[in-house]
Chain A
Amino acid sequence: MIELESIEYLEKFKQGMDVFLATTDFSVGTTPSEVIYGEDKMRLLHYIPTVEKQYPVPILVVYALVNRYYILDLQPDKSMIKKLLAEGFDVYVIDWGYPSRADRYLTIGDYVNGYLNDAVERVKERSGLDKITLMGVCQGGTFSVMYAALYPEKIKNLITLVTPVHFDTNKGLLHVWAKNLDVDKIVDYYGMVPGDLLNTGFLITDPIKLMIDKYVNMFERIECESGETEKECQLRNEETIKNFLRMEKWIFDSPDQAGETYRQFIKDCYQKNLLIKNEMEIDGKNIDLRKITMPLLNVMAEFDHLVPNDASRPLADAISSKEKETLVFPTGHVGIFVGSRSQKEVCPRIAEWLGPRSLLDGPGEKKPKAKRKSPQSRKNEK
């Protein structure tokens, strides 16, 4: 009995290794796009439409500086970007790139008033509209909230996904740890805060599951189902491993953080909680959330271990918008983009909310001019 069990596990391990060794190509972010603007390390991507008729108001997606934007386009069959395109939206994404030591002095002001504002201007210019939809994810959502408060005249709709705005909570481990961090020492020593250091922090939020169980489960999932041919089984298992590797790549693809931005984000947000109190300043300008008047859709993940609901929910009460909706899905921080509910529930609900708000308001709103392609546009290299 014992021998049989051991042989079975060894067989499974061998089978897993065979599939693992055969899987070399697992590309991410495969939805076709073009780079329409670049500034320093930042690139603005425009996704090629997949339907003939699109909503006139475009969406600009703002991802966090931590990890990379392609979590929204991780798998060809589970891509939030692809789904939004299929729903008829015109989608742009900011790729912050990989900042280097030369970028250590970049501040939140440089990101929000500089790169983000320039990206908004480019999208406005291409669409011929005065206002666009801003969709911020995680820290990118926090930046989007700051932007919407500073430039409400440029934003038609604001969508925040798993976005922290109220940082004084003990529900998430990052919130607990950040309070004791001597951020000045970290930034003064490193200059650019290493992505690996931040990743270690994310890993120890649940080290046993993230460093052991995840890998054990990967091998456990490699098995043939009854009625499946060997070829079908092989193909399905290869896809399972590819998706696993895509996620692994995303998790450990962590750009370093510009030191001054990190310093201000930890101090003003995590340690002093200034944003929700309307006391935060960037480039000498006060961020008053009450100046946010456009419709807001605040999307949260119920089991988010990085951005607890307590950190996101207060946004709706802090702003002056008349139309505001909060959605909570029973999933996790990453699951909201790649989990089974993402395609079936999250994207359709966002589309349902955004669709009617992505039409021109009427005579008051400028009609879009003919779309102009930048001569420097080039295919996004994947």
Chain B
Amino acid sequence: MEGTPIESTKEFYDLWLEGYETTFGRLLEMPAVGPLRERSEKMMRGFSNFSNLYASGMESNSHLQSVLMEAMRKTYAKTTTEMEGEIGPEKYRDFYKLWIETYSKTFKEFFGSERFASDLGKFMSHSLDFQKYNQEMLEENYLKPMNLPTKAEIDEINKEVYSLKKKVKELTSQVRELSEKRKIPS
């Protein structure tokens, strides 16, 4: 494994993930049996959700770290050329300005790239899968056994109320229109 420490870490993680997916990962996806089959299978799903989240987190983090390194390199290069290598406290303002401008430009370029958009999309997607899984587990293992309302049940009621409200508004408007029509002599 050669390259920068970040690239090497990423490479190591990719190897680890490949190993996991072909060994333990497969084991955890094995169909469950027995009276707790449904619950066990759902719980096992959590491992793959987490490994997906971790993988996308590692990937976006390594890209972000590379940009950080690039910004540092650019700042260093500019310090030597534009400030002639002097970065003492008396040149704090100049250095700060140079640092802010360089970092801001470098990060903005990266955030505007397709790569970041793809990283962000993947990471958010896996993060939401994982959070949704946790929510389901919480409902399944705690709220339902304790006979407490779940988010899904509250949403169901909210949907009902929304539809009813909409219907009432529609009917009120129709009643108003009809009353106005009746007022106009034909």
Contacts and interface: CB of A to CB of B under 8 A. Distances in A.
A102 interface: yes
A2 B90 CA distance: 6
A91 B159 CA distance: 35
Given A101-B154, A173-B112, A204-B111, A6 B89 contact: yes
Interface in A70-109: 101-106
Contacts of A181: 120-121, 124
Nearest to B88: A2
Interface string B113-124: 010111011101
A8 to B, nearest CB: 10
Contacts of B158: 101-102, 104-105
B169 interface: yes
Interface residues of A, number: 36
A180 B124 CA distance: 10
A1 interface: yes
A244 to B, nearest CB: 18
Nearest to B157: A102
B104 interface: yes
A255 to B, nearest CB: 17
Given A101-B154, A173-B111, A216-B96, A186 B124 contact: yes
Given A177-B120, A209-B100, A185 B111 contact: no
Contacts of B129: 185
A104 B155 contact: yes
Nearest to B117: A180
Interface in B136-186: 151, 154-155, 158-159, 161-163, 165-166, 169
A208 B155 CA distance: 39
A205 B158 CA distance: 34
B92 A206 contact: no
B128 interface: yes
A207 interface: yes
Interface of A: 1-2, 5-6, 9, 40, 101-106, 110, 114, 170, 173, 176-177, 179-182, 185-186, 188-189, 191, 204-209, 212-213, 216
